Each structure stands twice: as structure tokens, then as C-alpha cells.
Amino acid sequence: MTSLLAALGILGISASGPIIAAFPGVPVLSMAFWRNGAAAVILSVPALRKNPRVYLRMTSREWIFTGIAGISLALHFVCFMYSMRLTSVAAGTALVCIQGVWIAVFQVMRKVQYRTQVFVGMAIALGGAIVITGFDMSLGGQALLGDFLALAGGILAAIYTLAGSVARQTMSTATYASSCYAITALALLVLCFSTRMPIWGFDAHGWLGIVLLTLCAQILGHTAMNHLLNVLGALTVSMLILLEIPGAALLAALLLGQVVSPATYVGLAVILAGLALVIRGQAQPKRTSI
């Protein structure tokens, strides 16, 4: 069941890029707002059905970590989406998807110790990502700013994952995801208003893109990963995100007719090998008090 949910989650987040590319008529921040807002409303239904006062009974600790996760996710969307307009897609994607490295750094700072096998697996998986993307960072002008934005997006994604893993210790998936997405949507709505980004008036084709992005990337993708935080842990979930790179390439080939390079298949195999080591290395992690 866990493997199936992980596969569905990876499929969902991998669909994000191809869907955004297939529906260029809607600004990216507007799409980000609607995907989070709509998902929050949809997921609040099972949470409220189980307990009509569930949000009133959330503790201050739960609200704090959910708030940190929601704001971090909103800022992640901003950094990543704007980096795509300043640097190459390959460099931006690679820098954002190395969030697993930041997870490991943050965890080590919290006195969590991992076996050497975990770090070897991380290096192998990151190598697979580099094989796919080329990691072609530029060193001048706007491209350098885009690279830094993508790097910041990866750090923010790591904070989102870590904060979510803490909140999920005492919260159900529906309660956490709906409240987190609501906070993210509110933050993005403020950003849309402050930058005069339209959030309404799209044609039927644009709304179809928003619906698909909400169902595939947000509800299926992000929510599946949020559920897995309690099962696999923050580091493993963040490493699974690396599979978004080949996943997006394969979906773009299937849905948009884009050519998949041989490096994508090689990189996919390398990433899977690295992930296997990371997961096996955490089977009995060595921990000291936090």
C-alpha cells in the first residue's frame, strides 16, 4: 500500500510541470493560488465530517508548525516559478529537487545521526538528477539570480516538509493538508493582489488546467506525500521528490510529445538505486536526544 501511494504521489507531482506548460493562459501564481485553495476546500470535507470542530481543537503547536509549512510552501512556489523565467529549466529543477540535502543538514543540526549508507544513497540519487538535467548552472546576470531563487525554493521545500512532519505527528492527513493548503492559498492570494496578478476571468481551457493541476499535483501528489511523512519520514519523502524530474520528462513526452533523452532513463535508474540505499539505511537509524 505504501509503495502504491508513493507511486501515485510521484505521478501527481510529476504532472505539475507538464500541466502548467500545457495551459499557458493562466499566470503561474494564480494557478498556485487556486490549486491550494480548491484542495483546501475539498480536503476539509472529510476532516469536518469526522469532527465538525476539528480546526477549533487544533493546538497552538499544531497551528505553528502547520503555519510554517504553509508559508514555506507558498514562498517555495514563488521562488521556483519565477526562477523558471530567469534560469534554465534544467538548472532550476535540479537545484529545487536537492531539498533532501537540506533535510539531512537540518536533521543533523537537530542531533539526528544517519548511517553512511544514507549519505551514499543521497549522493547517488543526486548524481542521477544531474545526469538528467545536466545541472547547467549559468554564472551571469539574471540566470544567476534564477539559480539562487531555485536554491531558495529547495530550502523552503525542505522547511515545508520538516514542519509538516512535526505537525503530522498528531494530525490526520486531511486536517493537516487542508489547513496547510488554506494558509498557502491565503499567502498566495496576498501576493497575487500585491502584484496585480489576475485570479479570475480565465477561459474554459484555463479553468480546465486549474482543475487538473488541483486534482493531480495538489490532491494526489502533495497530499500523498504529506500522508507518507508519518510512514517514511521527512528525508525519504524529500528524496522521493527527485523522481519528479524523470517523471515530468516522461509525462511531457506522453502528453505533450516532447522527446525524452536517453539520459532520462539512465538517470531514473540511478535515482532509484540511490533511493533504495537511503531507505535501507534508515531502517534502524541511530538517534540521540533532540
pLDDT digits (tens, 9 = 90+) for 173-196: 999 999 999 999 999 999 999 999
Checking if the pLDDT of 90 tops 70, the result is no
Write down the pLDDT at residue 266.
84
Write down the pLDDT at residue 194.
94
Write down the pLDDT at residue 189.
97
pLDDT digits (tens, 9 = 90+) for 6-27: 999 999 988 887 888 788 888 8
Q: Which of 30, 71, 31, 82 is nearest to 192 (CA)?
A: 30
Mean pLDDT (whole number) for 108-116: 83
Q: Radius of gyration (Cα) for the chain, nearest Å?
A: 18
Residues 54, 59, 65, 71, Cα dihedral to 10°: 60
Could you give the percent of the chain with pLDDT greater than 70? Answer: 90
Checking if the pLDDT of 82 tops 90, the result is no
Q: Which helix (H) or strand (E) holds 286?
A: strand 286-287
User: Phi and psi for 85 in degrees, rounded to 5?
Assistant: -95, -5
User: Residue holding cell 523552503?
Assistant: 156
* Cα 217 from Cα 214, distance rounded (Å): 6
Checking if the pLDDT of 258 tops 90, the result is no
Domain span at residue 191?
2-287
Checking if the pLDDT of 289 tops 70, the result is no
**Between 275 and 259, where is the model more confident?**
275
Q: Which of 53, 74, 36 is nearest to 223 (CA)?
A: 36
Write down the pLDDT at residue 39.
96
Task: Please report, for residues 88, 126, 152, the alpha-carbon distance to residue 241 in angstroms, rounded to integers and kept in the order given.
Answer: 19, 11, 16
Helices (H), 215-243: 223-232, 234-240
pLDDT digits (tens, 9 = 90+) for 61-77: 999 999 999 999 999 98
Do 67 and 181 contact (CB within 8 A), yes or no?
Answer: no
Q: Which of 44-48, 120-124, 164-168 has the weakest average pLDDT?
A: 120-124
Neighbours of 212 (CB within 10 A): 17
Q: Which helix (H) or strand (E) holds 287?
A: strand 286-287
**All three cell numbers of 65:** 508548525
* Cα 36 from Cα 14, distance rounded (Å): 17
**Between 143 and 171, where is the model more confident?**
171
DSSP character for 280?
H
| pLDDT category of residue 52 using cuts at 50, 70 and 90 | very high
Give the chain's domain count.
1
* 152-161 b/e (C-beta count within 10 Å ≥ 16 → b): bbbbbbbbbb
**All three cell numbers of 272:** 532509484
DSSP 86-142: TS-HHHHHHHHTTHHHHHHHHHHHTTEE--HHHHHHHHHHHHHHHHHHTT----SHH
pTM of the model: 0.83
DSSP character for 23?
-
pLDDT digits (tens, 9 = 90+) for 208-256: 999 999 999 999 999 999 999 988 888 888 888 878 878 877 887 787 7
Q: Which helix (H) or strand (E) holds 210?
A: helix 204-213
* Cα 148 from Cα 236, distance rounded (Å): 24
**Between 290 and 122, where is the model more confident?**
122
Neighbours of 65 (CB within 10 A): 23
Who contacts 196 (Cβ-Cβ below 8 Å, separation ≥6)? Answer: none
Average pLDDT of the chain is: 85
125: amino acid identity, one letter: A
Write down the pLDDT at residue 167.
95
